[in-house]
Structure 1
């Protein structure tokens, strides 16, 4: 775990300040054996050091490992000359660890570039894919904590909206704008911030820590503001700046797990994501009952601040391109060979400012609106996400007005969704182990994307069941436990639907996964931000038991109409992807 600390925010700072004496890397320690492939000049001037620490590994195998990024001889076949010579507007395929090389004329016969810095061996311990299962699980738990501490910022606010409206002398709809602007912020944010984590010089860890630190600071003026004009911009900026974890965490998980095993980590991260909307009303409800709406923001401050204090010591860098870039810098300093570069540095040195802007800022929008597969599935998940926030507004009517719950007890009613999600995760893990893993090819690196979609079939049906069940059991004459049991189907449905759709998009667009997932979050948040504004009026004006039955019926019918969408892509998805220049 000392290697893990070395890659954290504090570990990186200590390494820089001490000039490599603290939290040192192998290249910064005495007696380090410079790799044969990238330091020929250094070896020639330090033969005794080189021979003293050299291993007996085959030089032929070393050449193959360097050429293929540590994946062996078979990996050489996976790239054509066109792919090796292409400009890096097209990202490396994350289904393999291959980093293409550009041979120099002197090394054309060897087939590899002696100045290309890559993994030292297939089991290089600095490669996140080679970490132990315990280390991967620990880092995944840190990503879950980060996601929860930001995601809770939306729903916890809603518990205090009535109290805020009274204090500021505004309408309930105006008070709801504090929720809307936050959700909109963390939908727009990933479109600009998440692609930055793909830049080799930045990596993921620094983006997480810096944005979380700003998020924490923003809570102070938010909790102290006394008018809506100050509150709304602060809420939007907080959502915007806190957003990278909501999209980039999936990229961090992909850094550590091969696609065959990725679903387990993505599943538990999805459960953590559900915890935000579920536990927000619970914590916020008791806080408002005990104090006032400002205490919901204090909870966000304490939770995110505590998370920041933990993560600066425990969250390491996982991006292969960033880890290799730092290795290249150390090797250049050690050897004096300024020609040593990683593939990421080579790629970015050949890109214009326009190409970099296209890759980091424009591409998420291009993929979202020009790719039919991405657009329709984003629209599907966005509508369901909007329905989630729409449906949440029926909880106060059902449990406060119909069953006499206070704010804190109303928050407890959301636990049915969490329990449904948790149980579904275990069942989904069994499904993945006994069925889905067997569908992978190429040593667990590739699956036909459409085989991810059956989970979404079940998810769409479960969501519809939930909405009808909850709506028609929400009246005061029916025990409160019955609608809570029905709400568990929402946890089942949303978990399975997002597992199916998001994994499908990542597998269909592996080179642009960060951009695709950012676009999905943008779509979802835009609808999630708008629906709560008219939700309360809709449920109260449609009539029925407590005003909820017919409102839930309407929402349920909309969800039912969307059930066929993943079935369409199950049948025609492969054909549609062949027409795309971005999909694989």
Structure 2
């Protein structure tokens, strides 16, 4: 929401900070006739640009210092810079504060998947990822809706104030309620405490295998997102797919004023209402995952004891079709204006549903397929999405000027159509592709070992007739204090979920 809320209140910002060229407001892209919308891309793009830098700091940092410290260290500055936006006295100050807010605010985008992999078993992870996965899409959709009406009524500073207050609330909730979930950090703390209390030397099994060094670990982990992005074909393809969808979403932010304000004559607040069908579509997709997709996966996991990562992809089949279909409907019904507006809204609803279904399928798939490095995979995805989300909208207005609203919107739909076969191809060939690369083989071996351990335990518990216990993996040898050389070990699921490269 922080990235897009000010985009609907750009008019008052331009009134307060006049004298800048259209290039300053729009990264060199808007025509003077469209100057009332000129700062949209700049204010949104500069925030998203912070998402390019942040993930390479916060994702590896969470695997060195733990999840909780990174959230606290980033959410407090996020609140401060969001509040500074309210008091900005010039356009450069406003843009700098927005960039820094985006840099610190992206920690939740990169580290949430790591927390989910820490806390939830495979049958529960899909639901948790579903709840999380809908938020990155709902936020940019709800932001212009809030900013449009509030900006018209009370000015853009109140829009910025709402974002700052929301950030402060989130920071307070994380400080009070968020526990540490990363197993190596928890075990190191426990080893330190036991060593102090007993006089024995306790060590985490991660540190027994390799002595712990902050400097070496940070240096190593900073490279991981780059390695995964450029050496893993699956990571690269899915990151590019999600990046194009993210870019399409922000292209829609640019095209909506042209369609609804320019062609249909709606006000800024009324134009923001066009985001409601997209939010409804996002929520319908989430409901589908909660009541159908994830229960189906959990049932198969309980019956078989093992589900490959590719079992996460079927919902993406539907989403990859709904996405271009919705965009094509919007392309040819948004204008001419004699076509009722409800028709193009139906297209936006399909677009919203398809977008979330694909996101949830690919995110769950990547977490399962690259379980030991889930946070780094998410960081690579966030950076790719952010770059494309900034770059693609820069060409939107030129494209709409050259091709017209209908054909320009069709180009956007064709971009989505190109990626339609990707979920099916990965469903068929995904494991074969993973086995071709070093990180893919290592992650696949970890996942298979974990699945084998779970299958054995499920069979044992099933033979005992304990159906409830068969659905869970009990902790395995958490600590043995009687050992002459005591070593702290996490349970098997944590060991494979949180291994450090």
TM-score (norm 2): 0.80
Shift of 1:221: 2.8
Structure 2 contact 293–315 (Cα < 8 Å) conserved = no
Say whether 1:357 aligns with 2:222: no
Residue ranges of structure 2 left out of the alignment (5+ in a row): 28-38, 445-501
Structure 1 contact 177–533 (Cα < 8 Å) conserved = no
Deviations 1:211-236 (A, max 9, x none): 10011111233232233333333222
RMSD: 2.1
2:322 maps to which of 422, 444, 462: 462
Change (3 A) 1:327 1:355: closer
After TM superposition, the structure 1 = structure 2 runs for residues 366-381 of structure 1, keeping only pairs within 5 Å, are: 366-381=227-242
After TM superposition, the structure 1 = structure 2 runs for residues 259-274 of structure 1, keeping only pairs within 5 Å, are: 259-274=122-137
- Separation in 2 of the partners of 1:332 and 1:494? 50
Say whether 1:256 aligns with 2:119: yes
Secondary structure of 1:318's aligned partner? coil
Say whether 1:204 aligns with 2:204: no
Structure 1 contact 386–527 (Cα < 8 Å) conserved = yes
Residue of structure 2 in register with 1:387 after alignment: 248
TM-score (norm 1): 0.69
Residue ranges of structure 1 left out of the alignment (5+ in a row): 1-151
Shift of 1:500: 1.4
- Separation in 1 of the partners of 2:379 and 2:286? 23
Residue of structure 2 in register with 1:185 after alignment: 50
- Separation in 1 of the partners of 2:233 and 2:80? 40
Secondary structure of 1:230's aligned partner? helix
1:169 maps to which of 16, 19, 25: 19
Shift of 1:571: 2.3
Change (3 A) 1:157 1:347: farther
Deviations 1:286-325 (A, max 9, x none): 1220133333222211111122233322222222222332
Structure 1 contact 462–489 (Cα < 8 Å) conserved = yes
2:104 maps to which of 229, 241, 245: 241
Change (3 A) 1:356 1:205: closer
Change (3 A) 1:354 1:537: same
Paired residue total: 424
1:398 maps to which of 239, 259, 270: 259
**Higher mean C-alpha displacement, 415-424 vs 564-573:** 564-573
1:522 maps to which of 383, 387, 397: 383
Structure 1 contact 403–480 (Cα < 8 Å) conserved = no
Shift of 1:243: 1.1
Change (3 A) 1:442 1:578: farther
Deviations 1:412-444 (A, max 9, x none): 221111111211222223333553224437985
Say whether 1:450 aligns with 2:313: no
Residue of structure 2 in register with 1:29 after alignment: none
Structure 1 contact 204–319 (Cα < 8 Å) conserved = yes
Structure 1 contact 189–243 (Cα < 8 Å) conserved = yes
Change (3 A) 1:441 1:196: farther
Structure 1 contact 399–480 (Cα < 8 Å) conserved = no
- Separation in 1 of the partners of 2:131 and 2:4? 20
Shift of 1:495: 1.0
Deviations 1:141-184 (A, max 9, x none): xxxxxxxxxxx111112112343334233314143222112112
- Separation in 2 of the partners of 1:355 and 1:471? 49
Change (3 A) 1:556 1:500: same
Shift of 1:350: 5.0
Secondary structure of 2:202's aligned partner? coil
Secondary structure of 2:377's aligned partner? helix
- Separation in 2 of the partners of 1:541 and 1:438? 52
Structure number having the greater helix percentage: 2
Query: Which consecutive aligned stretches of 4+ in structure 1 deviate over 4 angstroms post-superposition?
Result: 441-444
Say whether 1:306 aligns with 2:169: yes
Secondary structure of 2:54's aligned partner? helix
Deviations 1:335-387 (A, max 9, x none): 122x11222444562558445411x2111101101111111111111112111
**Higher mean C-alpha displacement, 247-256 vs 390-399:** 390-399
